[in-house]
Amino acid sequence: MLSPSVEDYIKAIYKARSDKGTITTQDLADRLGVSAPAVSKMMRRLTELRLISHAPYQAVELTEAGEKMALEIIRHHRLLELYLVRAMGFTWDNVHEEAERLEHHISEEFEDRIDKLLGHPTACPHGDPIPTRAGAIARSSNRSLAVQREPERLMVQRVSDEDAALLRHFKSLGVIPGTAVEFVRQEPFEGPLVLRIGGRLVRITPQAAREVFVDPVSREDSRS
Ligand SMILES: [Zn+2]
Ligand SMILES: [Zn+2]
């Protein structure tokens, strides 16, 4: 793999912050598959470029310019994923890698044309919100299915898109963004979670459930 670019770092910082609230050098090293010293070096560069603010012993924050760059690249990524699925016949488990490469190379005009062609979509195939051209982004659920304990009707809002085998597994279970599921119970001793999806019972391991993010159905209803 080529060494991660400025854009990759900015996107990783943005995502780490929205997943976990804060970011450490080690988080970034893990996410990008590089050493901690390499991250530290890039942090200095990103600070010089005024894309982040990073005071010693303080959390890394994106500046306004950094945030804008992150949302731009995320917009490219998510539009490209949807384009690959809808227009080119890719399946949802093999568009993430492709979009990771293409996102750095498309022009603003290309982006606008894809957006128009797809009818100004609001989410990628995995349920992640697509930022607007102006840089607004809808809230997305951080509530993992894995922490569910009580019976409840839930809406699958998004799933993690990085593991192709896991995406194929979700598809086979029917765990797809926009699908209503009923959490029935978790089997004893940290066993699988039992869901009812379209009248049939489905079991999902706690490990897979960690990559599924849900909303209560009531909130989903009032929003639409
Ligand atoms: Zn992706
Ligand atoms: Zn996606």
Over residues 76-103, the pLDDT tens digits come to: 999 999 999 999 999 999 999 999 999 9
Which pLDDT tens digit goes with each residue over 117-126?
999 999 999 9
Please check whether residue 121 is in contact with residue 112, taking contact to mean a CB–CB distance below 8 angstroms: no
Whole-number Å distance, alpha carbon 100 to ligand 1 midpoint, is 7
Cα of 188 vs centre of ligand 2, distance in Å, is 33
What CATH number has the domain spanning 145-223? 2.30.30.90
CA of 92 to the centre of ligand 1 (A): 9
CA pair distance 78, 60, nearest whole angstrom:
25
Residue 151 makes CB contacts below 8 A (sequence gap 6+) with: 182, 183, 184, 185
Ligand 2 centre to CA of 85 (Å) is: 11
- For the chain, the domains span 6-62, 145-223
Does pTM top 0.75 for this prediction? yes
> Which of 143, 133, 162, 165 is CA-nearest to residue 215?
143
User: What stretch of H or E contains 139?
Assistant: none
Q: Are 51 and 6 a contacting pair, CB within 8 Å?
A: yes
Instruction: Looking at the CA of 103, name the nearest ligand.
Output: 1
Please indicate whether the domains covering 6-62 and 145-223 agree at the CATH topology level.
no
Q: Per-residue pLDDT tens for 167-195?
A: 999 999 999 999 999 999 999 999 999 99
CATH no., domain 6-62:
1.10.10.10
Which residues are near ligand 1, the ion (C-beta closer than 5 Å)? 96, 161
Strand partners, 214: 156
